[in-house]
Amino acid sequence: MLLPAGTNPNAWRANSPVVHERCRVGAGQHETYTLAVSIPLLLTLVDAGVRLGSTTVLRNLSLELAQGEVLGIEGPNGAGKSTLLRVCATLLPLDTGSGTVFDAHLGSPGAQSVRPEIGLLAHQPALYEELTLRENLSFYGRLLGRRPGRVDELLDGVGLSAAADRRADQTSQGMQRRVDLARLLLIEPRLLLLDEPHAGLDSAAEKLIAAVVADVLGRRGAAIIVAHDTSRLADLTTRRLRLERGGLT
Amino acid sequence: MTFWRAAGVIMRKDLMVEGRSGEVLWITIPFGLIALFLIPLALPLDNPLLQRIAGPMYWVILLLFGMTIALRRSAVGTTPQREALRMLGIDPAARFTGRVLATTLLSLAFALVLAPATVVLFDANLPTSWPLLLPIVMAVTLGLGIVGTVAAELTRGLRTRTALAPLLVAPLAAPLLVAAAQATESLSRGDSILLPALIIAFTVLGLAVIGVLTAGPLEETQ
Amino acid sequence: MKTRYVLSLLALAALGYGLYLSGQHPPDAVQGEYVRIINVHVPASWVAFLAFGGTLLGSLGWLATRRRRFDAFAAASAEVGVLFTALSLLSGMIWGQVTWGIAWDWGDARMASTALMFFIYLGYMGLRRGMPDETERAKRSAVIGVLGFLTVPLSYFSVNLFRSLHQTQSVRPDGWQIESGEIVTSMLINVAAYTLVYLVFVTWRTSQGMVPADTGVGSDLAGDAVVAPSLGGRDE
């Protein structure tokens, strides 16, 4: 929508990003209008705080993630990056503050219903050691109701067709990470949460991360990538923040 | 994904994992058999005594060693595995049910191997109506599966898990043990097994209801 | 605080009076002087089951409301319950040994179900140990508190079934009646006294359980404990 000149766009919008544009209106006349574009927010956190035992992990943390954004969050060891991701995934409740994911309030029963829209890549892969790579993906595929052929397509896509029948405990960390990324593609999420996605991946496989992110963005989603150093992700991220002492800067 | 379909997929996965690890086949079953073997070794040579205690010993071994099936490592799962299932939006009760069904089938296999071994080692006289014991065995293994799965969930992540979980299971499974032993005794006397069967059924039903109702709260953890 | 003091004084007075009556009433026609153990065994058994019920109510209350007070009450009730269950079992075994020559009567459904309850309490308390997270501890304890309560009456019925079908196995004479009204009065006074003691202990332990694990002020902040390492690479 167009706002008349002089309108404070920040007063108008509560949460949506605003794009300012200077438009030509009428022949020979120039007027300045503000073009306000409402971009849906997929995730919001307002003064969020999390304590684990007697330790405050996150405090007064506010965050917004709009559709189409790829947010990089970096920080030192123990800063709470993984905890933040788990809060965003609705796996960890907030002790203070509030938040929403896909408009569902964190901590409400509705928050659990949006979990299938979220893809979380944790430090350790969610694979069953005794099962083969194909069996692992097929298990998740069955739960998701995906067609059987999709599993082989994904294994091929992540470069593991030849190792598909190898047990997970007989594969390297990098291979397991690739399969875990394939699992995310199987889920087809709209919110992607990646915790140190580069860990264990060789340079050839790093482009997989870009592929997964692109897949989510193509579904009008967004992503948060957490890493010690997000400069490696400069091409991927649209915004970078630093998490330190429980808060974002 | 319907409740029972999800439970079926999880049960199938658990059975596949167990099939590959072989913990029940190569460790639990031999362990139970050797326990069954040690009892007559410790008793004086007295065949009538052995025949008399065959039934109760069978149920005790099934309880004590069968509970380890529910507490096996692969049944609990790692944190990333559990979180991945939570993120898929699978009903915790369906996940619980799938685990219970897998554990029950494995326990049933254990029970079916143990039965002929008991008959042979204790020179037990099988009553002519022994097929009536089959539904009793199935119900008891289901009850054990439920209690064991709940205990495994309660002790997840605790350092004392190995000792604490059996401590929780044993007294909770006591009604099953007593009623099953009574059913065996009644059958050998030619009496009705209706009352013990009802106690077992009621116990299993109560455990199932509580297990399913608490599956959700127990799963929502840090 | 004042209520607790008054309750404690009442409990002490009741215990004292109960002890006095235990020594004063006449011996039983069947059991002689050994009947006085009834003034410990029956009240202890009553409190043991009362405490178990308290743990059940506290567990259900926490599951429904997530309020700390219910968890603190359930745990306090379980702790007191362990004490009185042990006392019930011990006094029962002594009574059985001196009266009927056998410490443990497998035909007695009450003793068997009390023993099972004791083990469930131990499991309950074992579960709470080594779980620093309050919510997790409360949640898991609540589940075992409810589950345990289901199985105790079922165990009682199962063992009773055995006893009814194998009457000769029970060593206690069926249909034994307390003939003296004074013994009954003494027993009931002791039941009331033990109940007051239960209430005193439980209220005290519940209030202790309500003390927060930490005040939050000055609590650790994640990441503060991690600084840049002092060990570096080779000197240039």
**Chain C residues close to B218, C-beta within 8 Å:** 139-140, 143
**CA A165, CA B13: separation in Å to the nearest integer?**
16
**Chain C residues close to A76, C-beta within 8 Å:** 223, 226
pLDDT for res A168: 94
Mean pLDDT on C218-226: 61
Asked if residue C222 has pLDDT above 80, the reply is no
In B152-181, the residues whose Cβ lies within 8 Å of chain C are 154-155, 158-160, 164, 167-168, 170-175, 178-179
Mean pLDDT on A71-96: 89
Size of interface A-C (CB pairs under 8 A): 42
User: Long-range contacts: C177-184, Cβ < 8 Å, 24+?
Assistant: C178/C28, C178/C35, C178/C38, C179/C28, C179/C29, C180/C25, C180/C26, C180/C28, C182/C21, C182/C24, C182/C25, C182/C26, C183/C25, C183/C26, C183/C28, C183/C35, C183/C38
Q: Which element (helix H / strand E) includes A194?
A: strand A191-195
Asked if residue C178 has pLDDT above 80, the reply is no
**CA C197, CA C203: separation in Å to the nearest integer?**
10
Note the pTM of the prediction, 2 decimals.
0.83
**CA C160, CA B58: separation in Å to the nearest integer?**
21
CB within 8 Å of C96: residues ≥ 6 apart: C102, C103, C104, C105, C171, C172
**Chain B residues close to C140, C-beta within 8 Å:** 154, 218
pLDDT band for position C185 (cuts 50, 70, 90): confident
Report percent pLDDT > 90 for chain C. Answer: 36
**Chain A residues close to B222, C-beta within 8 Å:** 52, 92
C114 contact B CB<8A = no
Report percent pLDDT > 70 for chain A. Answer: 84
Q: Which of B20, B85, B89 sits opposite A130 (nearest CB)?
A: B20
Residue type, C200: V
Query: How distant is the Cα of A60 from the closest Cα of chain B, in angstroms?
Result: 20
pLDDT for res B221: 57
CB within 8 Å of B188: residues ≥ 6 apart: B55, B125, B127
Closest-CA residue in chain A for C221?
A: A56
| Nearest CA among B121, B38, B32, B40 for reference residue B69 | B32
Q: What tens digit of pLDDT does each residue of A153-163 get? A: 999 999 899 99
Verify whether the Cβ–Cβ distance A244 to C223 is below 8 Å.
Answer: yes
CB within 8 Å of C200: residues ≥ 6 apart: C4, C7, C8, C11
Q: Which element (helix H / strand E) includes B145?
A: helix B133-154
pLDDT for res A20: 41
Verify whether the Cβ–Cβ distance A143 to B9 is below 8 Å.
Answer: yes
**Quick one: tokens of A46?**
């307002």
pLDDT for res A43: 93
Residues of chain B with pLDDT under 70: 221-222
DSSP C154-203: HHHHHHHHHHHH-GGG--SPTT-----HHHHHHHHHHHHHHHHHHHHHHH
Query: How many residues are present in chain A?
Result: 249
Q: Which of A105-119, C109-123, C219-233 has the lowest mean pLDDT?
A: C219-233
Which position has the higher pLDDT, B102 or C106? B102
Q: To the nearest whole number, what is the mean pLDDT of chain C?
A: 82
Q: Which of C213, C219, C223 sits opposite A79 (nearest CB)?
A: C223
pLDDT for res A245: 74
Residue C32 is given by DSSP the state B
Q: Which of B171, B186, B206 sits opposite C119 (nearest CB)?
A: B171
Mean pLDDT on C124-138: 87
Q: To the nearest whole number, what is the mean pLDDT of chain A?
A: 83
Q: What tens digit of pLDDT does each residue of A134-186 get? A: 999 999 999 999 998 999 999 999 989 999 999 999 999 889 999 999 999 99
Verify whether the Cβ–Cβ distance A83 to C219 is below 8 Å.
Answer: no
Q: What tens digit of pLDDT does each residue of C47-75 get? A: 998 999 999 999 999 999 999 999 999 99
Which position has the higher pLDDT, B46 or C179? B46
pLDDT for res A76: 79
